[in-house]
Amino acid sequence: MALPANAQEKKYPEPEPMKPGMSEYWTPQRKVVTPGNIQTQSAPSDAIVLFDGTDLSKWEMEDGTAAAWTLKDGVMTVNKQKGSIRTKEKFGSFQLHLEWSNPKDIEGSSQARGNSGVYLQGMYEIQILDSYNNETYINGMVGSIYKQTPPLVNPMRKPGEWNVYDIIYTAPVFKEDGDYLYRPRVTVLLNGVVVQCNTEILGTTEYIGFPKTIKHGDGPILLQSHGDPSQPISFRNIWIRKL
């Protein structure tokens, strides 16, 4: 029904004016973390140092025996006769830093050239491969979620130079029936360049076949000893921060 011509619409109070402090909160204050020193390649103050060049005490073989990779001049080198190594400690979500290098005189092509991998929670492989002037299937090149998602670009350095992975990983959540409620996700920087950006991992990274869903909890970081005939790669400066 229309209001009389002389009637006025009822007025209600306006919201009170906002002040800057009305949208600010101060507690809890954040823990101070001292960043690593670029010159000395040190880890952040809250990181777990997995390898600093002095010993392999944080690592073991897959059968639980002492890690048997070669340790020399502050780096550890894959021992292909002994197999892969994994961390003794298990992790959920994390930030992982590791550096790796192929021999300057490395030989081979495609997957038979500097092949390794870092497995997140022991289940999901981020491929390590000498992809410098070395073509292969793109979901198996360096920076790929193996056999799933190719990297966005290829920022690989020459053999003999050190490459750097910085990996931010969100662990999966499972339903009671063992299916994924939330799949794992990963962001990967290779040599400071984003090659995976919050990418969903579909399941286990199988060499033959398609991803599988296997319910699991926290798991180790595993470094692969691949069976290709090329010279073994080396690792240094590995640390992790739990998220």
For residues 218-233, average pLDDT: 90
- Gyration radius of the chain's alpha carbons: 24
| Nearest residue to 234 via CA among 64, 18, 90, 74 | 74
Other CB atoms within 10 A of residue 7 CB: 8
Residue holding tokens 């998602």? 149
* pLDDT at residue 121, rounded to an integer: 98
| Nearest residue to 188 via CA among 238, 230, 126, 239 | 126
Stated as kind and residue range, the H or E segment containing 39 is: none
Specify the higher pLDDT residue, 226 or 69.
Answer: 69
Spatial contact of 159 and 102, defined as CB atoms under 8 Å apart:
yes
pLDDT over threshold 80, residue 95: yes
The model's pTM is 0.91
pLDDT over threshold 70, residue 4: no
pLDDT over threshold 80, residue 8: no
Q: What percent of the chain shows pLDDT beyond 90?
A: 84
CA angle 153, 158, 223 (to 5 degrees): 75
* pLDDT at residue 17, rounded to an integer: 93
What are the CA-CA distances from residue 230 to residues 78, 114, 160, 165 (Å)?
Answer: 11, 6, 14, 21
Cis bond before residue 184 (omega within 30° of 0): no
- Locate 225 and state its tokens: 């000893």
Spatial contact of 113 and 129, defined as CB atoms under 8 Å apart:
yes
Spatial contact of 181 and 233, defined as CB atoms under 8 Å apart:
no
Q: How confident is the model at residue 78 (pLDDT cuts 50, 70, 90)?
A: very high
pLDDT over threshold 70, residue 5: no
* pLDDT at residue 12, rounded to an integer: 92
Other CB atoms within 10 A of residue 187 CB: 16
The whole-angstrom separation of Cα 102 and Cα 158 is 8
Express each pLDDT in 22-71 by its tens digit. 999 999 999 999 999 877 778 999 999 999 999 999 999 999 999 999 99
* pLDDT at residue 7, rounded to an integer: 62
Q: How confident is the model at residue 2 (pLDDT cuts 50, 70, 90)?
A: low
In terms of DSSP bridges, do strands 234-242 and 124-128 run parallel, antiparallel, or are they unpaired? Answer: unpaired
* pLDDT at residue 230, rounded to an integer: 80
| Fold of domain 41-242 | Jelly Rolls (2.60.120)
Domain extents in the chain = 41-242
Q: What is the DSSP letter of 219?
A: B
* Helix/strand/coil for 100: strand
For residues 176-191, average pLDDT: 97
* pLDDT at residue 42, rounded to an integer: 86
